[in-house]
Structure 1
Amino acid sequence: MDVRVDFDDIEIAEDAGDSDISEESLITVPDPIVVKGSGHLTVFGLSNRFENEFPGALIGRIAPEEFRATVNRINSILKKMVPLNFKWLIIGCLCCCCTLGCSVCPVVFLNKRSKLVIRKALDHENRQLYHKLGLHWKLSKERHSNTAMLEYVLLIEFIPKIPVYRPD
């Protein structure tokens, strides 16, 4: 049995429900909020502290105290880790000629560990509080506008609310 289909003869039928999509049914999500580093020491793009000034876009979503508590937890992690990374970087640079660059490896691993600890802390905060409020915190790289340098920032993304009472 030979079945041949001419694709020019096939008409694409549009569902009546899909053609009536209104602007109300589209879910709009605001742009993420960026919390930049404000410290005086930066090692491999990771600053030693973040700004804890409450952004205006979060008014009505979370309390300013919750925001500051989260940023202060991240800052306390950075306060322990970044100066240690900086000391190892200085030692690694001083010994770089003797070790053919291998003395810088501990700094790279310590920096990865610092980022991992911050991501775990943010993941814990997200599970405990922020996902229930429709927010998601994450550590992300961002390029400076004037230079090619990358910097780590905290992004607060809005999770879109799905209308569960609306039929499919």
Structure 2
Amino acid sequence: MNRRPLIVAAAAVGVLATAAFALPELPDLPPGLVADKIDSKVYKEAGERFASAADAPTGEQAPFALPSWIPKDATDVRVRIGTSGEAKMIRFTPGATPLDAPQCDTGTPKPMDVPALHANWWPESLQEGARAECRGAHQYQVAVRGKQVYAWTDGTPSPSSAGSRDDAAHAPRTQG
């Protein structure tokens, strides 16, 4: 019996399994590569990077739209989303516009863990010192570490949202 095809098949399966776990931990790869496909199909995740918050998309159907409380002059913005839910992780460097203190004016924020998303730019632990941010449709947890701001949501509705939305694109438009 020729065992060579079995050995080749087993090796190929091993390489593919290793790639599925290792590729999300590699540095950001150009779009369209194998890592994007694995993230999308296996992990049900997607990621984007923007030079500034002003470069991020807006609109109700834009999955990478940022919450309105993130200043437009924030730079090096990274967003990771769960494609099968509302989980989102955001990291950015604040610009000259000061970051408002996180706030929840109405209601009590719910406890929230960091979403189970994979990103090599996300630190191990952020729970300590994180504060709730409830402006918009979703409640976020926000933590500042060094010169970076980290924000995440698991899709928990904001206690202050009565049908409001996260992003500025949902604000009423004025004529002019």
Q: Which has the higher contact order (CA 8 A, sep 6+)?
A: 1
Which structure dedicates a bigger proportion of its chain to strand?
Answer: 2
Which structure dedicates a bigger proportion of its chain to helix?
Answer: 1
Same fold (TM over 0.5): no
TM-score (norm 1): 0.23
Tell which structure's C-alpha radius of gyration is larger.
1
TM-score (norm 2): 0.22
